[in-house]
Amino acid sequence: MTAKIKAVGKQNRFNSVWDAIEDTPAQAENMKLRSALMLALKDHIAKEGLSQSNAAKLFGVTQPRISDLMRGRIDLFAIDTLVNMLTTAGLRVELHIAKAA
* Beta carbons within 8 Å of 90's beta carbon, 6+ residues apart: none
pTM of the model: 0.76
CB 11 within 8 Å of CB 55: no
Task: Report the pLDDT value the prediction gives residue 15, as an integer from 0 to 100.
Answer: 63
CA distance 14 to 41: 26
**Architecture of the domain defined by 37-92:** Orthogonal Bundle (1.10)
Low-confidence residues of the chain, pLDDT below 70?
1-12, 14-23, 101
